[in-house]
Structure 1
């Protein structure tokens, strides 16, 4: 019963109450910011809390908790209110902005791009209000595009602490343009950055090292950067190129060079914590350090104090991510408690570290690394003793390993699917089997090789060779396991209520299982004669109630919550059409009512204008719209399978993102226009589809596709060739774009690909020539028209609009695209026909919901 008493008594611990109430106050201030949440509230609530704790009136614990939450809300509100820019600018950008300041972060040179953050001494604007205090102290994100290869070497010599002066374009940071998409503006705002500055080429940019005698916190970090670069250089010398990036991430926290494909494989199996520096690294570092000092004859007090002193150095060298800071602080508190011969309470140590970090930097609350690190740590501290009691394993080490893995998986599951929208059923096995190998072999031996290389490469290379062989085997296992679609599940991002229900039912399930086991053990050990017959019957009834009623009910409820989270749209009577903002391109997700399955029309694509001889501009992980934007969005929306993937035509701004889609999301059928464009990307896409067993369907006018309840697709174009010829090569794909009409719950939608005026006329003439009554498809109006070719002047003719008489139109085009889409003449024609126009370049994503024959619209951005 001790474990259960410990679990139920947590709320009476003052440190636990402080941590819970402080976090709750932060969460309220984050979600519902108010002007009165400020420093006055923080100090006032803090003073009243002290009075309550001294006087101890009735209900003082609850009252004190409320006051702590109010104090936390005031502290967060004051901190957040101070996070504002000194630069006031009405426009989204301004040219000719001058900047003079100091580089505050390591400088990253990636292909033709240089990026870093710098703090201003002075900012000057060609227009608008002058910055407050001349902009001094403003932290700015820089992105400089190189124009000559020799500029790469020049930029590689820039370091933290260098003074920089330049003139460029000052941009307001971009916000998320799709619902649930990554918000770069918020991401940098939580780093106290509100503006980005861009420049082209290094001409006119002055970068000078700091003068002798200059001092600042950047000086220590500058030296730390140099040391990390030396360590990284040693890792590159020791390990093969395909492993060096992984080893740099694991050993010193430098993750920029990790192969993106390898990172994706680890992510699919839930193994990214191996790469990220965390508590596991700290534990191994301390174990090796203390073992070495004990072997050298150090006293207990000496090696404990030495370990405490070296921990901040280790944190700095490994990058000081929130997870490593948390583990380092916990380690220092634990080591100091051991030094003072005090009782070490893991729960209190973790919570003291967490509250301390949140007071120092309140924005840690929204940091994924901080959330996962603390959640798993607290789960292991609280859950492993209970799980050890429930598992029928006799060997302590095996039981502990299984318990830690099970608890970590269950505790981290909601946040894992919230942020990454996927979970592998092999995650438990992968963590149980592979983590010990990485932690007990790869990490220690790799660290030893890296440090020994400073003495002699000949001594270090045998260690590195052994590690590389182990890595080769482990990477092969990870690659094979991550490719299996049978074990990969996709989960939509859950709502906060669902997460609370998950944790509540999970806790209740553990408590009931513990209670059942405790009562069973107590019944076996207690003599029956010690109880009266009535007491014995009462205990048996209570035990049967828990075992046969309450426990099964909680298990069923927990399973129902999981199923609801996995498929929240099941049997929904509404349909949805998402016009996703993929920049200059098309991508439309259709989710019919009921169980009609999902359709995806096109996948956008990243246009490249690189010329031969410009290979030096290639970036390590270039932006690709399918992998970086489309696939994460589809997963967040719970698209577990795509029944039909409709490729209207094979231009890169329509097919480019689909390669990532078919590699990461199961697709049943790929519908295309019956042609093949001679291009490497197209051939790779179709070959991947064939390799994965995806059915290829040649769509032609007259074909029909039924999707669930009241949803039908009528294909209108292209027409079948008179000679019945099969697949043919076509370089110019626009005239052969697939055009189809969709009927959904009494509404009509026309999707026109990229056809031009000639194809529009041809389509109308052919369908109008049918016998009267043969088809009613051309009967106007249509509710929604997807405007062809991004609003090009060569499409959406007067004849086309008169024939269909659309009520609403959606134009998918990139912001400030080089083609000038949509063309003013198209907008004028749409306006003349009184068509309501929504544009992704202005409104971001356009979502339309069909409910009871009516269309409800919303856009991500307000014009």
Structure 2
């Protein structure tokens, strides 16, 4: 058997995947040990058919090992009986120690705590070192300095509020509870003020904790030194690339690199390890050390480099592979890179099976595998077209890495730039051959003599300015950016199968290796032969068809879908019509309360609904463009998230209520829309607008005279756009935040129009609704009895934030809805609400049951 380690690693991964997508609780560590023993017996007895049987058993061993690991990943905390039904919001005191560095960002200090025990009032329970994620609110600027003095390993007693992490509240949304569980964390502890923490410095004893403390201090010291070496706008970029610290990286720069497929430049990976080893080996040889001694020194430097750069899965993979290669070279063993990669993958997956679910682990190993197997062969295939070896090698690496990483990239990031190959081909050589080694030299020089480091840093900044200029220009070409929905695992598997088929056929065709007996397809009446060019053309056709289907998997669906996205205390409603038109009504928003003199509270990368949650959801659902973007009114909880939307997703038309609320956010929103040449439509009562063959839309409110008489309006609720939608025979009303006054005015107008139609009934005389979006999040100032009596909704949807400070929805509003017989769906209790419109009727599903 060739490469048994590689085959074994593949079988081990297969076992993990089987454990992930099946419910086999009977598979435990005991089962794995028994199956492993059976493998040894079968191999020892040399039984016939032992290879496939052992392969099957090895899959079972891996499956059992993963199940055993997953079953043990549970909390040790047993809540008191009176608090088991509602585990959130429990006041506790925890004793333990810091298990991570303390990160200070504005008015928040965050860290991981290794909890030894927890005390509920008069009762204490042991936790045995369970990991707890802590968020500490800082009440004064001076507290930043206090919290920054805390170190990993220090003992801490902290009083605060204990709660469980939030699950995903939207379909396909980020699941914070699952994320923390994969890091063996099951609880969150929040506290206010450093006075709630009693910290005692740890005794200086050599061990793992002390080693990690030294590493934290070294990383912190290097970070501060790099702030002095490199210009302020570029220090975060260089920290990310050189030592893996991303806290100071400009979020907009990261977004830019992400859209161009350049995030691997910002992550420590094999490229960094190769350059680091190259610099170290060259330096050691200049010091007259022998080749063997230099390799030995490099081998022992690698673990420290892995720790220094943050020990992410990608750097661990690259560092361990380099260590295996150096060991093999020193021992004179056969150097098989594929074997080295399999050994490292196996070690990492045994250490932590959850690595398999880490995107950096997946991309790192996939791209490395592709480069190992494909670059040399693709080089040969390109030899006839590209004569320069350097250009040919660059093209081969770019093509292989792009094609191999494409499915995983769109699954997690839902975007791909057609200019990604160009950006990689231009920038990767510059950064790997110039910026990264020069950056290492600048840091080293700056540690010895700061002015020398600053001089090198200034020269590097010129290169970086050229890099940023290039990425700025490439990013501005919006027509080359494609948004992809997250593909299914079946689509991903088929993609790789077809890609391997194309590669094999192309290789055979280019080398002229045609079989003596060509493939024949026989029919009843005739017999004909397909040659290799035809097979290759067919494979390419299948590949293009696969991409076409993956880009718009819902293109042939003839159902409508209305999605009330849970954006907390706000509105965001995404509508997909039966013929593929996309509408977004409002975009939620994050409301911040800042007083004068509180700039210290501002965070480097604050949470913003549009950028952090809404836009990723739209991309994950394959929203290539919005045919109509509606801003019902200009309050922040409806408009705040739209800035990120129009920056990252093409918008054909923008409908707003025709007024203007002067503030920085709204000014920036409209200015961006104008710069992107998005038509701005002032909303006022209109006739029916046909969106597609099965959908039409009508603006009922505000009235023309209402908009004309009020240009600048700060109190926006009573000017909200009210939309009536008809889709596949169903009727929907979207109401923004209108109050009872606007409701009554609209009802009067509707009744006047109905009276004008008599004795003939109006076209829309039947005004009973299938779905009513309740105005103003269920506020007591909206949804009057007259309003409900007129519309008689079958279903009412309330978009409202969980545990909001306003008491929404009001109890009397909910009671009126119940008395009217409407089905009530609430985002605060159910998460996202999706209503699918079929010919048979409306079908609902909610995220949280």
Normalising by structure 2, we get a TM-score of: 0.96
What is the Cα deviation at residue 515 of structure 1? 1.5
- For the pair 1:766 / 2:756, whether they are aligned, the reply is no
The 5 A counterparts of 1:264-413 are 264-391=255-382, 392=384, 393-413=386-406
Determine helix, strand or coil for the equivalent of 2:627. Answer: strand
Q: Following the alignment from structure 2 to structure 1, what is the Cα–Cα distance between the partners of residues 503 and 517?
A: 25
Q: Following the alignment from structure 2 to structure 1, what is the Cα–Cα distance between the partners of residues 307 and 299?
A: 14
Q: Following the alignment from structure 2 to structure 1, what is the Cα–Cα distance between the partners of residues 529 and 293?
A: 57
The 5 A counterparts of 1:137-286 are 137-213=129-205, 216-286=207-277
What is the Cα deviation at residue 54 of structure 1? 2.9
C-alpha change, 1:536 and 1:689, in structure 2 (3 Å) is closer
What is the Cα deviation at residue 642 of structure 1? 0.4
- For the pair 1:115 / 2:106, whether they are aligned, the reply is no
8 A Cα contact 2:561 2:835, kept in partner = yes
Partner of 1:417: 410
Candidates 555, 568, 576, aligned match of 1:570: 555
8 A Cα contact 2:519 2:531, kept in partner = no
The 5 A counterparts of 1:499-648 are 499-519=492-512, 545-595=530-580, 597-648=581-632
C-alpha change, 1:543 and 1:44, in structure 2 (3 Å) is farther
- For the pair 1:752 / 2:743, whether they are aligned, the reply is no
What is the Cα deviation at residue 544 of structure 1? 7.2
Q: Following the alignment from structure 1 to structure 2, what is the Cα–Cα distance between the partners of residues 459 and 335?
A: 33
Partner of 1:3: none
Q: Following the alignment from structure 2 to structure 1, what is the Cα–Cα distance between the partners of residues 708 and 579?
A: 38
Partner of 2:6: 16
Deviates more, 1:777-786 or 1:505-514: 777-786
Partner of 1:699: 683
Q: Following the alignment from structure 2 to structure 1, what is the Cα–Cα distance between the partners of residues 239 and 106?
A: 20
Q: Following the alignment from structure 1 to structure 2, what is the Cα–Cα distance between the partners of residues 319 and 202?
A: 27
Partner of 1:7: none
What is the Cα deviation at residue 616 of structure 1? 0.6
Determine helix, strand or coil for the equivalent of 2:196. Answer: coil
C-alpha change, 1:285 and 1:299, in structure 2 (3 Å) is same
Runs of 4+ residues over 6 Å off in structure 1: 535-539, 541-544
Determine helix, strand or coil for the equivalent of 1:438. Answer: helix
Alpha-carbon displacement from aligned partner over 1:152-173 (angstroms, at most 9, x marks no partner): 1111111111111121100101
Q: Following the alignment from structure 2 to structure 1, what is the Cα–Cα distance between the partners of residues 70 and 343?
A: 22
Aligned residues: 834
What is the Cα deviation at residue 536 of structure 1? 9.4
Determine helix, strand or coil for the equivalent of 1:857. Answer: strand
What is the Cα deviation at residue 117 of structure 1? 0.1
What is the Cα deviation at residue 778 of structure 1? 5.4
8 A Cα contact 2:509 2:533, kept in partner = no
Partner of 2:650: 666
Candidates 420, 439, 451, aligned match of 1:446: 439
Q: Following the alignment from structure 2 to structure 1, what is the Cα–Cα distance between the partners of residues 15 and 40?
A: 17
Partner of 1:740: 723
Deviates more, 1:729-738 or 1:450-459: 450-459
Q: Following the alignment from structure 2 to structure 1, what is the Cα–Cα distance between the partners of residues 464 and 377?
A: 34
8 A Cα contact 1:49 1:64, kept in partner = yes
8 A Cα contact 2:3 2:339, kept in partner = no
- For the pair 1:725 / 2:697, whether they are aligned, the reply is no
Determine helix, strand or coil for the equivalent of 1:135. Answer: strand
8 A Cα contact 1:239 1:464, kept in partner = yes
What is the Cα deviation at residue 395 of structure 1? 3.0
8 A Cα contact 1:95 1:126, kept in partner = no
Determine helix, strand or coil for the equivalent of 1:185. Answer: helix
Q: Following the alignment from structure 2 to structure 1, what is the Cα–Cα distance between the partners of residues 202 and 624?
A: 54
Partner of 2:831: 844
Candidates 674, 680, 683, aligned match of 2:667: 683
Unaligned 5+ runs, structure 2: none
Q: Following the alignment from structure 1 to structure 2, what is the Cα–Cα distance between the partners of residues 468 and 548?
A: 50
Q: CA RMSD, aligned part only?
A: 1.9
8 A Cα contact 1:631 1:661, kept in partner = yes
C-alpha change, 1:311 and 1:212, in structure 2 (3 Å) is closer
Partner of 1:65: 55
8 A Cα contact 2:632 2:720, kept in partner = yes
8 A Cα contact 1:631 1:660, kept in partner = yes
What is the Cα deviation at residue 569 of structure 1? 1.4
Determine helix, strand or coil for the equivalent of 1:265. Answer: helix
What is the Cα deviation at residue 834 of structure 1? 1.4
Q: Following the alignment from structure 1 to structure 2, what is the Cα–Cα distance between the partners of residues 853 and 152?
A: 60
- For the pair 1:49 / 2:39, whether they are aligned, the reply is yes
Q: Following the alignment from structure 1 to structure 2, what is the Cα–Cα distance between the partners of residues 776 and 673?
A: 25
Q: Following the alignment from structure 1 to structure 2, what is the Cα–Cα distance between the partners of residues 216 and 101?
A: 18
Q: Following the alignment from structure 1 to structure 2, what is the Cα–Cα distance between the partners of residues 605 and 148?
A: 26
Unaligned 5+ runs, structure 1: 1-10, 524-534
- For the pair 1:126 / 2:121, whether they are aligned, the reply is yes
Alpha-carbon displacement from aligned partner over 1:591-644 (angstroms, at most 9, x marks no partner): 00123x200000000011111111110000000000000000000000010010
Determine helix, strand or coil for the equivalent of 1:119. Answer: strand
Determine helix, strand or coil for the equivalent of 1:493. Answer: coil
Deviates more, 1:395-404 or 1:551-560: 395-404
Determine helix, strand or coil for the equivalent of 2:101. Answer: coil
Q: Following the alignment from structure 1 to structure 2, what is the Cα–Cα distance between the partners of residues 53 and 390?
A: 42
Q: Following the alignment from structure 2 to structure 1, what is the Cα–Cα distance between the partners of residues 36 and 331?
A: 30
Determine helix, strand or coil for the equivalent of 2:363. Answer: helix
8 A Cα contact 2:231 2:458, kept in partner = no
Q: Following the alignment from structure 1 to structure 2, what is the Cα–Cα distance between the partners of residues 668 and 810?
A: 27
8 A Cα contact 1:94 1:126, kept in partner = no
What is the Cα deviation at residue 58 of structure 1? 3.4
8 A Cα contact 1:788 1:795, kept in partner = yes
What is the Cα deviation at residue 367 of structure 1? 0.7
Q: Following the alignment from structure 2 to structure 1, what is the Cα–Cα distance between the partners of residues 311 and 387?
A: 39
Candidates 773, 796, 799, aligned match of 2:783: 796
C-alpha change, 1:782 and 1:853, in structure 2 (3 Å) is farther
Normalising by structure 1, we get a TM-score of: 0.94
Alpha-carbon displacement from aligned partner over 1:822-849 (angstroms, at most 9, x marks no partner): 1111100011111111111110000111
